């Protein structure tokens, strides 16, 4: 059985903890019954011993599998990871979502996507990453009485995401600690109005509005100070054709959306100016988590 799940970019500027989209950068796992437990890792995280010995995917998978079947069976897990760890591209959501989907699928149980999403909430309580990881596309999501309420829309083919991935990680937990404890009424009204405008721009495909609507007072400036070069990445991206440039999730990646035509030039310019950062030109993912038996 093979399960794949896309990377995600959460917040999209003002939509703190509620907006997110899925990118065509994937983690895949192949799982086979085996006489012994074994793990092999390729790609991102393959030189991290913790991911071999104490893998979050394996422990979530085992929790669900054991609860579901009351059986103790061994599996071989082969991981092919494209999502960099702790760079604000939803690596932890990808693990949570794919582990839950796998535990049910290996027993032949077909789980609705909404069910996977709500089970994932126990491990990740903000819905802006888990929703696009499960559903794909652009998503507006909130949690009400332990259920994710969301609206999802496919992303069109005419846009690309040019992501700039720094060589240093920022853990989501630490990055949340950099945020203020309280916000003023002005900041709250600012983010409410920009987040609404940005959502309307995505839903109506009004791409010229992205530049205006992607402003934020809640989190980016506090987090980007942890890596001040990110302000320069944002400025360069906006000068060189990006329709919007925002911190991806809790950082450290910057997400730049642009038209297909502008994407190669924008990526080249960012590579030249920030040679120590990784620049990838990505399509969007509109499928979310996938299981192939």
Chain residues in the site for ligand ADP (CB under 6 A): 27, 45, 51, 55-57, 81, 85-93, 95, 171-172, 249-250
Does the annotation flag 92 for ligand binding?
Answer: yes
- 20 or 267: CB nearest ligand LJ64HWYM: 20
Find out whether 196 is annotated in a ligand binding site. Answer: no
CB of 211 to ligand ADP, least distance (A): 25
263 is in an annotated binding site: no
In the complex, what is the shortest distance from the CB of residue 239 to ligand ADP, in angstroms, rounded to a whole number? Answer: 27
Upper half-sphere CA count for residue 71 (Cβ side, 13 Å):
10
Q: Which does 126 bind (CB under 5 to 8 A by kind): ligand LJ64HWYM, ligand ADP, none?
A: ligand LJ64HWYM
Q: Whole-angstrom Cα distance, residue 14 to residue 123? A: 24
Bridge partners, 256 (sequence order): 162, 245
Which tokens go with 288? 């979310």
214, 221, 229 from 225: Cα distances, Å: 18, 6, 8
Q: Which long-range contacts (CB under 8 A, 24 or more apart) does 146-154 make?
A: 146/118, 146/121, 147/118, 147/121, 148/114, 148/117, 148/118, 148/121, 150/117, 153/202, 153/203, 154/286
Neighbours of 4 (CB within 10 A): 21
Q: Quick check: 126 and 227 in contact, CB under 8 A?
A: no
Identify what 85 binds: ligand LJ64HWYM, ligand ADP, none; CB under 5 to 8 Å per kind.
Answer: ligand ADP
| Dihedral pair phi/psi, residue 40, rounded to 5° | -125, 145
Q: Which is nearer to ligand ADP, 57 or 138 (CB)?
A: 57
Give the residue with the Cβ less far from ligand LJ64HWYM, 55 or 92: 92
Residue 11 binds which entry of ligand LJ64HWYM, ligand ADP, none, CB below 5-8 Å type-dependent: ligand LJ64HWYM
259 annotated among ligand-binding-site residues: no
Nearer residue to ligand LJ64HWYM within complex by CB, 176 or 211: 176
To the question of whether residue 252 is assigned a binding role by annotation, the answer is no
Is 287 annotated for ligand binding?
no
Backbone dihedral angles phi then psi of residue 110, each to the nearest 5 degrees = -85, 120
Q: Does residue 91 have a known ligand-binding role?
A: yes
Q: Using CB distances below 5 to 8 A depending on partner kind, what does residue 176 bind out of ligand LJ64HWYM, ligand ADP, none?
A: ligand LJ64HWYM
Instruction: For residue 275, give both structure tokens.
Output: 């040679």
137 assigned to a ligand binding site: no
Dihedral sign from CA coordinates of 194, 124, 134, 142? negative
Residues near ligand LJ64HWYM (CB under 6 A) are 10-11, 16-17, 88-90, 92, 126, 128-129, 172, 176, 219, 249-250
Nearer to ligand LJ64HWYM, 128 or 285 (CB): 128
Measured over the CA atoms of residue 79, residue 82, residue 84 and residue 89, the dihedral's sign is negative
Q: Which is nearer to ligand ADP, 83 or 243 (CB)?
A: 83
Summarize the annotated binding site for ATP as residue ranges. Answer: 84-94
Summarize the annotated binding site as residue ranges. Answer: 84-94
């Amino acid at each position: 059985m093979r399960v794949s799940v896309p990377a995600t970019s959460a917040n999209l500027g003002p939509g703190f903890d509620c907006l997110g989209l899925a990118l065509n950068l994937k983690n895949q796992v192949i799982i086979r019954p085996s006489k012994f437990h074994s793990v092999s890792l390729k790609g991102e995280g393959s030189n991290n011993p913790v991911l071999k010995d104490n893998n979050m995917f394996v422990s979530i998978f085992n929790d669900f599998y054991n609860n579901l079947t009351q059986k103790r069976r061994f599996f071989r897990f082969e991981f092919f990871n494209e999502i960099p760890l702790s760079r604000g591209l939803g690596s932890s959501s990808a693990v949570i979502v794919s582990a839950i989907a796998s535990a049910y699928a290996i027993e032949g149980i077909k789980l609705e996507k909404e069910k996977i999403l709500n089970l994932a909430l126990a491990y990740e309580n903000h819905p802006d990453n888990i929703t696009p990881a499960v559903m794909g596309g652009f998503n507006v999501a909130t949690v009400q009485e332990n259920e994710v309420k969301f609206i999802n829309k496919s992303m069109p083919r005419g846009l690309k995401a040019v992501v700039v991935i720094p060589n240093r990680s920022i853990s989501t937990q630490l990055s949340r600690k950099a945020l203020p404890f309280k916000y003023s009424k002005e900041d709250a009204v600012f983010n409410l109005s920009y987040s609404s405008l940005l959502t309307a721009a995505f839903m109506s495909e009004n791409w010229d509005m992205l530049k205006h609507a992607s402003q934020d007072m809640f989190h980016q400036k506090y987090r980007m100070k942890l890596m001040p070069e990110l302000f320069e990445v944002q400025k360069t991206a906006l000068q060189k054709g990006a329709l919007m440039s925002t911190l991806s999730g809790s950082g450290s990646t910057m997400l730049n959306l642009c038209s297909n035509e502008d994407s190669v030039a924008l990526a080249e310019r960012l590579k030249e100016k920030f040679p120590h950062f990784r620049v990838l030109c990505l399509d969007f993912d509109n499928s979310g988590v996938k299981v192939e038996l």
